[in-house]
Homo-oligomer: A and B are copies of this chain.
Amino acid sequence: MDDEALTDALRLAVDPPDGVNVEALHDLIRDDQATAWGISTVAAHLQVSPHTLRYYEHIGLLTVPRDPSGRRSYDAAAVRRLVFLTRMRRSGMPIAELQRYVHLVDAGPETVAERLDLLLEHRDTLRHQIAQLQLSLAATEHKIAAYTEGPRP
């Protein structure tokens, strides 16, 4: 059930249906303090390796509770942060910037302005990237058309 919810959240994150519904994603992974997940479960759902999850923790991007025998036990907060982290990574945010961001988050509410700056900057980067990719896509499609239609490409 919770596992399913996580799966759904991640499917939304990776492979969006027609409308992008950020609200829904947000709801799907909201607090749910009963359950916890093992490292390989989380890794599989986020499409990263357990090694990577340990690495992220090691470099201070998040802290993960342990079970009595010392194993990582990812709670809802950890998973939510990981969803954020992996999405930012996939969209090209460098790890150093993620470290800066989570440091601000952990520092408390007086850093909100700075976090906002960081997000605004990333938004601009994303828009720029999308524009560039669309241009590359147009160029690629044009070349494809030249190969398929034109007798002398």
Contacts and interface: CB of A to CB of B under 8 A. Distances in A.
Contacts of A128: 17-18
Q: Is chain A's interface secondary structure helix, strand, loop, or mixed overall?
A: helix
B5 A146 contact: yes
Copies of this chain, count: 2
Interface residues of A, number: 53
Contact of A139 (B9, B18, B134): B9
B26 A109 contact: no
B91 A142 contact: no
Given A132-B90, A142-B26, A127 B137 contact: yes
A141 interface: yes
Contacts of A134: 20, 130
Interface of A: 2, 4-5, 8-9, 12-18, 20, 22-23, 25-26, 87-88, 90-91, 109, 112, 115-116, 119-120, 122-123, 126-144, 146-148, 152-153
Given A112-B153, A122-B140, 17 more contacts: A4-B153, A17-B128, A20-B134, A20-B138, A22-B139, A26-B142, A87-B135, A91-B132, A91-B133, A112-B147, A116-B148, A119-B147, A123-B141, A126-B137, A126-B140, A127-B137, A130-B134
